């Protein structure tokens, strides 16, 4: 699972991976400029979609999808074990990723935090 926070002063969305997720994703954190964040949705169905080609990370179908994937030219970063808690963060072109698919403790609160942060942008 990951913790998502927003630092308005620095203009960053930060995703911090917890516990073994650091090992599965091969990352301890991601920092995305808020200017690159287009929006966020709670989307449990996304975790059931095809993942594409794993570039780096872990994929055990039905258990965990974590790390970098490419699907149809799109660059995705995954960290999901429980699809019901999946949040999809859409990012602007030109960044490292096109979308983040991240499991969080409270998807609705996380989506609200991200949406409020980019509205004030």
CATH of the domain at 77: 2.30.29
- What is the Cα–Cα distance from 32 to 22, expressed in whole angstroms? 17
Expressed as residue numbers, the domain containing 14 is 2-120
Q: Which residues pair with 90 in a beta bridge?
A: 39, 99
pLDDT bin (cut points 50, 70, 90) of residue 120 is low
Per-residue tokens: 19: 């516990």
User: Closest by alpha carbon to 98, among 77, 72, 121, 67?
Assistant: 77
pLDDT, tens digit, 9 for 90 and up, residues 29-68: 999 999 999 999 999 998 888 899 999 999 998 899 999 9
Give the residue from 49, 117, 32 showing the smallest Cα distance to 83.
49
Q: What is the DSSP string of 31-52?
A: EEEGGGEEEEEE-GGGGGS---
pTM of the model: 0.93
What are 76-96's pLDDT values in tens digits? 999 999 999 999 999 997 789
Residue burial 4-37, b: 16+ Cβ < 10 Å; e: rest: bebeeeeebbebebeeebbebbebeebebebebb
State how many domains the chain has. 1
């Amino acid at each position: 699972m990951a913790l998502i926070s927003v630092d308005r002063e620095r203009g960053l969305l930060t995703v911090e991976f917890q516990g073994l997720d650091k090992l599965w994703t091969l990352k301890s954190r991601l920092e995305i400029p808020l200017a690159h964040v287009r929006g966020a949705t709670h989307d449990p169905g996304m975790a059931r979609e095809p993942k594409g080609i794993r570039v780096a990370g872990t994929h055990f179908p039905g258990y965990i999808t974590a790390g970098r994937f490419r699907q149809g030219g799109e660059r995705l970063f995954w960290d999901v074990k429980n699809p019901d808690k999946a949040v999809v963060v859409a990012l602007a072109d030109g960044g490292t990723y096109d979308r983040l698919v991240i499991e969080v403790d409270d998807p609705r609160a996380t989506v609200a935090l991200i949406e409020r942060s980019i509205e004030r942008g």
